[in-house]
Amino acid sequence: MHSAVLFLGVLFPMLLASCREHTPASTAVPAAVPAPLPPTPEELEAGAAALRERAVLMHAIFGAKFNPAANEAPIEMSAPDEPGMRMYTIEPVAHAFLPNGDAALVANALAVQAGRDGIRVHTEGGLLNVFILRKADGRWTLLKHHANVARLGTWERIGTARFMHLAPGKPGLAMLYGSAFQGYVERYLSLFDLGAADLRDLSGDGIAVSASALACEPAETETCYDVTSGWRFAVSASGAAYNDLVFQFRGEEDRKKDVRRKGGEGPRLASDITRLDGVARYAYDGKTYVLVEGKNLARSH
């Protein structure tokens, strides 16, 4: 059994690290970025141990149906917003041991389709599934399967999972996911209460974390922008069931402006860059997180 101390001491720092999004792009030539250091032997072993733990949980849920080589298992479930049942492939994404000793396994459900051959639809999100397991007499047993809770992300994948506390005594799950299309990149955050009887997205449709126009051409008329944010929890100012969520946005926007060339050559576009900085605070209103202070600079694009 893992204690609450382990949950906070190991998993919460992982969340904080994930909250540090990339810094906004600058119009100046960027300095050379050093190559990341290779993982240490300790980090490699920790990753391997996590994979072994995840395999044990998958085997406890699916038994012989779990294919450890492919790291997946088949399951029949109801399709979201569609009548009837259909077959899915469950792909484990992350897991954590909760303060009470239960395990939470986060997985993606991929619809089984004839002739898929590994091809995924880039406009389609993945399907979030959460399995809650309890250990008794040395064996894990399934307590609850939150099936096809939400459709998140793109390329039929649900994004990155992080574990934290939504409030004292309330372990939660944060999903970070996004989309990228023709140079436009967006990233969102969704929150879930792992202790709830019915899992649902507490953020509604997701809260915008960052937005960038990576393929923007400065000489064209379109607006170029790059906005990102760090985020953290703060004690609820209203006494809500969950902590408030605070975002610190930073970035820049180039709306361009017309300038006249000498000699009557007509107008041309020149950069007109505006710095974007601000704080936004979200609070839980009993149903979902809503904006109560500031402005979400990532959503405005």
Which amino acid, residue 130?
V
Mean pLDDT of 287-291: 97
Whole-number pLDDT of residue 5: 34
| Three-class DSSP category at 27 | coil
Return d(Cα 3, Cα 5) in angstroms, integer: 5
| Three-class DSSP category at 93 | strand
Residue 248, burial from CB neighbour count under 10 angstroms (0-12, 13-18, 19+): middle
For residue 167, how many C-alpha atoms fall within 13 Å in the half-sphere facing its CB?
14
DSSP labels, 255-274: --EEEEPTTS--EEEE--EE
| 244, 233 contact by CB (below 8 A) | yes
Whole-number pLDDT of residue 247: 97
Return d(Cα 58, Cα 53) in angstroms, integer: 9
pLDDT at 279 over 80: yes
| 226, 250 contact by CB (below 8 A) | no
DSSP labels, 47-91: HHHHHHHHHHHHHHHHGGG-BTTTTBEEEEEEPTTSSSEEEEEEE
When pLDDT is cut at 50, 70 and 90, the band that residue 266 belongs to is low
pLDDT at 256 over 80: no
| 288, 202 contact by CB (below 8 A) | yes
Reported as a single tens digit per residue, the pLDDT across 111-126 is: 887 777 667 766 677 8
Whole-number pLDDT of residue 223: 78
| Three-class DSSP category at 33 | coil
Mapping DSSP onto H, E and C, the string for 188-253 reads EEEEEECCCCCCCCCCCCCEEEEEEECCCCCCCCCCEEEEEEEEEEECCCCCCCCCEEEEEEEEEE
Least confident range from 24-33, 75-84, 110-119, 277-286: namely 24-33
